[in-house]
Amino acid sequence: MRAVDLADADGMDELCEYAAHVAPDILVNNAGFGGYGPFVESRPSDEVAMIATNVTALTMLAKAVLPGMLKRKAGRILNVGSTASFAPGPFAAVYAATKAYVLSLSEALAEEVSGSGVTVTCLCPGPTETGFARRASMSSTRVFKGPVADAAGVARTGYEAMMAGRRLAVPGPVNKLLVFAIRLVPRRVVAFISRRELSPVPPA
């Protein structure tokens, strides 16, 4: 077992070397965090760490294990995106952009390795009951004041999709409908609605 800070370049190098050496059959890229507030006010160091964790570490870990999986003609990668992967996120702009990257990378890799025995799945949950909202200072936003999914159910959906080799898993009918509707609406309207959902709920 190895525990590293994925935002730390040395820790990442060490973990990638270890991952390539142990040649796992399954890689789950779940670690990630968000942030909340106007883009011009957020601390650059927080966003550098967010990009390093959500984007760089996820990419480099996939790169470390994929050659071995392809050689063995077997392997499963599960990357955790978000419903934020599908829409811009005003006041969580960098977080939503990192999750858009996760979906794009996952879909591209899934296509690159298709037919090889290796699969890449992107799990895109909506708001879920974990430590995420508190850490991201999003607890008082509309998005986390509405229905919030149970983490075990979301994990089960991701696991089943990964084992079935599906490319995309969006847990819950409401999130599925949301993701479908986003494709039909102009991007500017999506950004406007997203801004509303990411606004704080006024105190009663």
The residue among 69 and 169 lying less far from ligand NAP, judged by its C-beta, is 169
Nearby residues of 118 by Cβ (< 8 Å), 6 or more positions away = 66, 69, 70, 73, 74, 75, 76, 77
| Residue 198 identity (one-letter amino acid) | L
> Minimal CB distance to ligand NAP: which residue?
32
| Residue tagged active-site, from 18, 95, 101, 159 | 95
Residue 141 sits at φ, ψ, to 5 deg, of -80, 155
Question: Least Å distance between CB 6 and ligand NAP?
Answer: 3
Q: How far apart are CA 59 and CA 61, in angstroms?
A: 6
Question: Least Å distance between CB 20 and ligand NAP?
Answer: 18
Binding residues (CB under 6 A) for ligand NAP: these are 5-7, 30-34, 53, 80, 82, 125, 127-128, 130-132, 135
Q: How far apart are CA 118 and CA 136, in angstroms?
A: 33
Q: Cα 133–138–143 angle (5° rounding)?
A: 95
The residue among 14 and 73 lying less far from ligand NAP, judged by its C-beta, is 14
Question: Least Å distance between CB 169 and ligand NAP?
Answer: 12
Catalytic site includes residue 95: yes
The residue among 22 and 48 lying less far from ligand NAP, judged by its C-beta, is 48
Residues known to be catalytic:
95
